[in-house]
Amino acid sequence: MDIITFKNFSWKYSGYRGWTLHDINLSIAKGEFIGIIGKIGSGRTTFCSSMLGLIPHFYPGIMEGEIIIDGVNVEKSSISKLSSIVGLAFQSPSNQLTGAGTTIEEELAFGLQNLGVPYEEMHKRVSEMLKIIGLEKFRKRSPFELSGGQQQKVAIASVLIMNPKILVLDEPTSQLDPLGTEQVFDLVKKLSKKGITIIMSTNNIDYLSKFADRIILFDNEVVKVDTPKKILTDIELLKKHSLTHSVITDVSMKLKKYGLYHKDLIIDFDELKNVIKGMIK
Amino acid sequence: MSIVQAKDLYFEYSKGVSVLKNVNLSINKGEVVAIIGQNGSGKTTLVKHFNGLLRPTKGEVLINDEPSVKKTVAELSHICGYVFQNPDDQIFNSVVEEEVAFGPSNMGMKGIELKLRVDESLRTVGLYEKKKKHPLDLDLNQKKLVAIASIVAMNPELIILDEPTTGQDHAGLIMVEALINTLRKTHTVIIISHDMNLVARVSDRIIMMCSGEVIFDGLPKVAFTKNALMKKTYLKPPIITELAQSIKGFRRDILTVDEFMDELMLLRKKRK
């Protein structure tokens, strides 16, 4: 069953020439993990914002076509209605953190309080979430005393705690340290397994290749939708849209050049490892 | 010869909570040093001591062998230029060349000398053609370059780049890496980064931090074999190093794809 549908959707911000997104047609099934890639200015953030209704309800501009989220027509609905279905984690935590709470636990509880969740339940969910993001120790600290990466985790957690059906993440790991990045991807994968639909915009293709069911390549339009392997090993396609391939794929290209390997280019770490092991046995 | 030294440096934002603990280090002129470590490990706090944005709670920082406390932020900024993580924290003028001119004109530079300095800095970062544009009309990659150019224009001996590749796409990453390789010919460079692939390719030396302490200071080749230390501060080696380390027989200190291929060929030759 499709939970997200875009039909001939186009968007132009008022005051800008040209469409930021043009003629988008997409169907995303419930429970899918979709990776979004594209260069800066390719419309990825706009795409992410559209599912929560920030477009057209918050930003002024011209919209064509329609977006249906879990049966709800975005244009005819509202941000508050959509936010019960879609959780959007922004790239920069300072756009997310409300500042309503003086401590991290209050920040996390903010959305739940607004929904009138009972205290016991709220306490339980906050504790769970703090454990998941590994910040239990900091529960009484102010979010603004945390480092950028820690803030990012709190920002993601403040969205997750609302139990959205669809979780949209816009470059969620760009400020995180390597293990923090891995933790966020692991967490998102776990949520994906629970049946939450994931839309994740990131240029961290090493992780996307491992986790995403499909990848959408944007360049102000949908250039291609396919499996991670198909898109991420299409060197010419990536280059044409100012993106690069993974180090893993790079090694497999070199192996081909050296005449040591003749099959498809590789994107998976373990697959490459095994191919190389076979070469030095 | 060292440009920056930290001696028994401690720093507390609020009383009793040390963000830096007993940091001892010395940065030599001409080096490209990467400071790495988990979010919140004190990297930014440390480098903000080098241009006087922060002052030690205990211990001292020497800049060109003189205690930093004896100098003002303005004086220190002539020696240590700090490029903010987020270009929007730094950029406020409405024309690119004015933005870049701000620092040197504050230092008293004017007329043709100022113009030449601005043009040269914009050429260094590859933005000369955009000098009449509004900084906010540039994309994020280019805004970062404006932020770097405006520091380069003050001609500091040391340039500190705080997370220079955050939020950049592939094109931006290539530009930043090329720029670091340009700057290293004339400047001492410190980069703070979570991008281990970049760090492995450009740095001469790595300083690893964890909970406000320096837990490693040495060559990248050595740093990325210290897996237990790295894990302690939420780091992972570059993916190519990780790949080499996962295959029996490979050297554990490989940093680039080329080195990896050389090692593979060597191992195949030995096998025959």
Q: Residue A237 falls within a domain, yes or no?
A: no
Do A12 and A141 lie in one domain? The reply is no
Verify that A152 and A219 share a domain, yes or no. no
DSSP state of A195: T
Number of A to B CB contacts under 8 A, please give it: 108
Look at residue A96 in the predicted model and tell me its pLDDT. Answer: 64
d(CA B104, CA B115): 10
From the list A150, A182, A247, which residue is nearest B240 (CB)? A247
Q: Identify whether the C-beta of residue B80 lies closer than 8 Å to the C-beta of residue B74.
A: no
One domain for residues A68 and A170: yes
State the Cα–Cα distance between residues A254 and A250, nearest whole angstrom: 6
B242 vs A contacts (CB less than 8 Å): 269
- Residue B167 reports pLDDT greater than 90: no
Q: Where are the beta strands (DSSP E) in A74-191?
A: 86-89, 166-170
Asked if A150's CB is within 8 angstroms of B239's CB, the reply is no
Cβ atoms of A158 and A88 closer than 8 Å: no
Whether the Cβ atoms of residue B81 and residue B160 lie closer than 8 Å to each other: yes
CATH number of the domain that residue A30 is part of: 3.40.50.300
Contacts 24+ apart (CB under 8 A), A91-96: A91/A45, A91/A170, A91/A171, A91/A172, A91/A174, A91/B167, A92/A175, A92/B86, A93/A148, A93/A151, A93/A152, A93/A154, A93/A155, A93/A175, A94/A151, A96/A155, A96/A158, A96/A159
Same domain for A169 and A158: no
pLDDT above 90 covers a percentage of chain B that reads: 78
Of A203, A243, A276, the CB nearest to B247: A276
Q: Say yes or no: B256 contacts chain A, CB-CB below 8 A.
A: no
Q: At A222, is the secondary structure helix, strand, or coil?
A: strand
End-to-end CA distance of chain A: 47
Q: Looking at the structure, do residues A174 and A80 belong to the same domain, yes or no? A: yes
- B213-236 per-position pLDDT tens digit: 999 999 999 999 999 999 999 999
What would the mean pLDDT of B116-125 be, rounded to a whole number? 93
Does the pLDDT value for residue A86 go beyond 90?
Answer: yes
Q: Do B169 and A178 touch (CB under 8 A)?
A: no
Give me chain A's average pLDDT, please: 91
Please give the ipTM for the structure prediction. 0.86
Among A163, A183, A199, the domain-final residue is A163
- Does A103 reside within a domain? yes
A242 has a pLDDT exceeding 80: yes
Q: What is the chain B residue with the closest CA to A259?
A: B265
* C-alpha–C-alpha distance, residues A252 and A258, integer Å: 10
Lowest mean pLDDT among A43-47, A112-116, B54-58: A112-116
Helix extents (H) in A66-103: 79-82
Question: Do residues A119 and A69 share a domain?
Answer: no
Domain carrying residue A143 = 99-163
**Would you call A177 and B268 a contact, using CB atoms and an 8 Å cutoff?**
no
Closest chain A residue to the Cα of B174, Cα to Cα: A244
Q: Do B196 and A178 touch (CB under 8 A)?
A: yes
Do A141 and A11 fall within a single domain?
no
Higher pLDDT, A268 or A179: A268
Residue among A26, A33, A37 at smallest CA distance from A2: A26
State percent of chain A over pLDDT 90.
64
pLDDT of residue B272: 75
Q: Are strands A214-218 and A197-201 parallel, antiparallel or unpaired?
A: unpaired
pLDDT of A147-188, one tens digit each?
A: 666 787 888 888 888 889 999 999 988 888 888 888 788 888
Task: Please tell me the distance from the alpha carbon of residue B94 to that of residue B88, in angstroms, as a whole number.
Answer: 12
Instruction: Give the best residue of B170, B201, B241 to mutate against chain A (max A CB count within 10 A).
Output: B170
**Shared domain check, A141 and A9:** no
Q: Does A265 map to a domain? A: no
When mean pLDDT is compared across A63-72, B102-111, B203-212, B244-253, the lowest value belongs to B102-111
Q: What is the pLDDT of residues A58-78, one digit of tens each?
A: 999 999 999 999 999 999 999
Any domain includes A275: no
Whether the full predicted model's pTM is greater than 0.95, yes or no, is: no
| Interval A2-24 mean pLDDT | 95
Band (pLDDT 50/70/90 cuts) for residue A216 is very high
Q: pLDDT, tens digit, for every residue of B137-162? A: 888 889 989 999 999 999 999 999 99
Which of A40, A203, A204, A207 best tests the B interface by mutation, with the highest count of B CBs <10 A? A40
Task: Sketch out chain B's domains with CATH numbers.
Answer: 2-237 (3.40.50.300), 238-272 (no CATH)
In a domain, A182, yes or no: yes
Total of domains in chain A: 2
Contacts of B166 in chain A (CB under 8 A): 174-175
Q: Which residues of A touch B271 (CB under 8 A)?
A: 280-281
The predicted pLDDT at position A99 comes to: 62
pLDDT band at residue A114 using 50, 70 and 90 as cut-offs: confident
Task: Examine the domain organization and report whether A109 and A119 are in the same domain.
Answer: yes
| Within-domain flag for A264 | no
Rounded to whole angstroms, the Cα distance separating A266 from A250 reads: 9
A30 lies in the same domain as A149: no
- Domain end: A141, A163, A185, which one? A163
Nearest CB neighbour to A174, from listed B167, B231, B248? B167
Weakest-pLDDT range from A71-75, A266-270, B110-114: B110-114
In a domain, A245, yes or no: no
The nearest CA of chain A is from the CA of B40 a distance in Å of 5
Kindly state whether residues A13 and A51 are assigned to the same domain: yes
Predicted local distance difference test score (pLDDT) of residue A94: 64
What's the Rg (C-alpha) of chain B?
Answer: 20
Question: Closest residue of A to B137, CA-based?
Answer: A16
Residue A168 lies in a domain: yes
Q: What is the pLDDT of residue B11?
A: 96
What is the pLDDT of chain B when averaged over all its residues? 93
- For residues A56 and A13, membership in a common domain is answered with yes
Q: For residue range B188-210, what is the model confidence (pLDDT) as tens digits? A: 999 999 999 999 999 999 999 99
Is the CB of B197 less than 8 angstroms away from the CB of A247?
yes
What are residue B7's DSSP bridge partners? B60
Q: Do B257 and A244 lie within an 8 Å CB cutoff? A: no
